[in-house]
Every structure is written in C-alpha cells, then in structure tokens.
Amino acid sequence: MEGHKSKTREYLEAILIAVIFLKFANTFVLQTFFIPSGSMEDTLLVGDHLFVNRFIFGQEGWFKGFPLLPSREIRRGDIVIFRSVEDPTQDLVKRCVGLPGDEIRVEAKQLYLNGKRVEDSAYAIHRDANVYPNVPQLRRDFRLRDNFGPFVVPKGRYFCMGDNRDNSHDSRFWEEAEHSVPASYIKGRAFVIYWSFGGGTSDGRWRGVGDFAVRIGKTALGFFTETRWSRTLQLIR
C-alpha cells in the first residue's frame, strides 16, 4: 500500500514538474500563436500555428540582464508578435519595416524607407488594383492604405505592416498610438510554423464552453484532411 502511494506521488510530482516547465517555457522562451486573419498572407495563412521566440529580443522579468540565451535587437524584416496598441488584450503579428528614427513613406502602394524604395516584392502582396489618392474626400482607411507619410518612427517604437498590404490594419492607421508599436509591447519573433490547419480557425475570442467544444470537435474531425502538411515546420521569413 505504501509503495502504491509512493508511486502515485512520484507520478503527480512528475506531472507537476512538467506543467511548471511548460508554463516557464511558454512564458519566457517559446510561446505558441495562431493566425486568425489574412493580414500576413501569403507569408502566413489563416490557421497557421507558430512558435514564437520570446528570448531573442532580450530577457524580461527575473532574467533581464542575464545572457541565458542569445539575443539581439529587432531588425527590419523581422516578423514580430506584439500586444495591440489599440487593444492590449489582443496579440497581433506583423512585419517590422521601420526602426526608431527611420523615415517611412508609402506612395501609390510602394514603401519607401529613408527616401529609398524598398524592394519587398518577395513577400508583400497587393490584391486590389485600385490606388487611392490621399485626398480628404476619401475615407481615411483608403487614403492611408495607399499613401502615407512621410513619418519618422519615434524613439523606442517600431513601424509594423502586414504583408497583405491592401488588407492589413497596421501602423499606417494607428494615429492615436503614434503609428507605431512600443518596444515594451513586442513579445518575440515568429520563427517556425509547427502546424497549419485550413479547416477554420477561431478569432481567439471566448464565446462559451459550447462554442469551444464545437470548434474542438471540428478540428479533431478535420485534422488529417484539413492540415496543410507541406507547411509543417516551415521556417518563417
């Protein structure tokens, strides 16, 4: 009887340690994230599930200042996960295109950085052939989508845009947030797709136990037929 209790206790301790380790890893090292919208197409698709490196841009909390893992500054072109400047309870994923002090300008959909045209055709897409001028008669979202700036990125902040340029609510539109993301809002860099599911993805909002159960059931039924196997373990660039 004593041996049985001892064995049960060992299992419980092992499970507890595993849970603590996973919680630690998800908080400080690797975080998971899924794509609920098409703002990063075709680089990232709706239903892509990502691993996010939380250490790469420097340690936080207890570990700040301790070089436990390699870290570096944010670079132009990094695909970053960050808290929304409009709703900090939501996480977003975009491409960092401007560092502090950079001058950003969009002219007829073309991005310019510090006065030079950015060659971004390898990842940026434009699915709307219309080019809207920056005139007051048009809706603000149309004007800023295709013509923006010039704008100098403030100190300690970053200018981020979605790769699906005609369908991305990003720095171009965040006027009240200085059109940029504070460094403290950035959680990490997306670096690999560990699973890609094409059978419908939640937008991340809680709608009750019933809705959650239905989504779990649909995912389980469509796991083999709706998984995009070719995207598994694909590096994100």
What are the residue numbers of the active site?
39, 94
CB atoms within 10 A of CB 158: 25
b/e map of 90-129 (b: 16 or more CB within 10 Å)?
ebbbbbbbbeeeebbbbeebbbbbeeeebebeeebbbeee
CB contact at 8 A, 36 and 162: no
Q: How far apart are CA 97 and CA 83, in angstroms?
A: 17
Q: Which residues contact 215 (CB under 8 A, 6 or more apart)?
A: 200, 202
Spell out the residues 6+ positions from residue 27 whose beta carbon is closer than 8 angstroms to its own.
Answer: 54
Residues 225, 93 contacting (CB under 8 angstroms): no
- If DSSP codes are grouped into helix, strand and coil, which group holds residue 54? coil
SS3 at position 148: strand
Q: Which helix (H) or strand (E) holds 33?
A: strand 30-34
- Is the Cβ–Cβ distance between 31 and 54 less than 8 Å? yes
